Amino acid sequence: MVQDVERLSTYVLLVLWVVFFAVNSLMIGWLLGVMAMTSEYSSQSIITSLTVNPRRVMFMNTKALVLVLVTFLASFVGVLVAWGCAWLMVHGAFSSGAQSFSNNMAAVEMVGSTRPFQPTWGWVGAILMA
């Protein structure tokens, strides 16, 4: 029974990691893509870039490839840092002063309660219900 719960929690963490990575990649990609294109048009440097390399398709594909690589690296680092912080919080590296909450504090913070069908009060509700 305990092994099933541990295996399920591992799968849930893996799915959450993939979802966070995808969302993080999209947001960073949108931000960097807008910045990469609008900065060239606003400063008129795209004229120089296209003069040096007049094949527009190759120029845009190269720019997109660099954007994808930078986005992937930035997202990967961001997700690893977030995962590391979450792991430290779940495994009790940071004490909240109430040792009875150490095992389920992550669930209380994310959902609002460790019991199903209970109003979500967040961390204030967890302290009041202790």
Asked whether residue 37 carries a pLDDT value surpassing 70, the answer given is yes
Contact 75, 28 (CB under 8 A): yes
- Domain spans of the chain, in order of start: 2-94, 96-130
What pLDDT sits at residue 50? 79
**Residue 59 in contact with residue 51, Cβ under 8 Å?**
no
Long-range (24+ apart) CB contacts under 8 A made by 58-63 are: 63/36
The gap between the terminal CA atoms of the chain, to the nearest Å, is 27
Distance CA 45, CA 58 (A): 17
Q: Is the pTM of this model over 0.75?
A: no
Q: Could you give the residue ranges of the DSSP H alpha helices within the chain?
A: 2-42, 45-52, 56-90, 105-111, 122-128
User: pLDDT tens digits for 68-122?
Assistant: 888 888 878 877 887 787 777 677 655 555 555 455 555 555 555 555 544 555 5
17 has pLDDT over 80: no
40, two tokens: 């060239």
Q: Is the Cβ–Cβ distance between 90 and 106 less than 8 Å? A: yes
CB atoms within 10 A of CB 62: 11
